[in-house]
Amino acid sequence: METKDLHVSVSPARAAGLVIDALTVSSVSGRIVDQYTRRGGDCEIVVLIMEKYFMRTGNRATLTMVADNFDGDGRTKVRLTGSGGGNGAFMKFDWGAGASFSGRAEEALAECRV
């Protein structure tokens, strides 16, 4: 499992859009599992769950993204968690699939990091 926390200068919805574009357009096996958005006043939260097949593990890895602008400082907090690429019932080693998946999402947000 790989978790990364960062801040960006775009809205939670725009951050989700950037990650979706990066992980589905350039990838044959990347897909959205679920997306949930909740708004209240000026605040917004987006929860995004994606998955992708990794040949090196022979399994699908997941990426969960939670983005919110609840702090009121003009920034969006983004938490990226890549997981699920381990093979077998007890084997949790994913050969870097989780890190690769969350790293690709982090790269998609690089230009708007603050």
Task: Give the pLDDT confidence of 35-61 residue by residue, as tens digits.
Answer: 999 999 999 999 999 998 866 656 778
Instruction: Report the CATH number at residue 22.
Output: 3.30.310
pLDDT number for residue 98: 54
Contact 49, 56 (CB under 8 A): no
Q: Indicate the pLDDT class of residue 73, thresholds 50, 70 and 90.
A: very high
Count CA within 13 A, CB hemisphere, residue 105.
34
Total structural domains within the chain: 1
For 4-36, write each residue's pLDDT tens digit.
Answer: 999 999 999 999 999 999 988 866 678 999 999
Q: Which domain holds residue 14?
A: 2-112
For 91-101, write each residue's pLDDT tens digit.
Answer: 555 555 556 67
pTM value is: 0.85
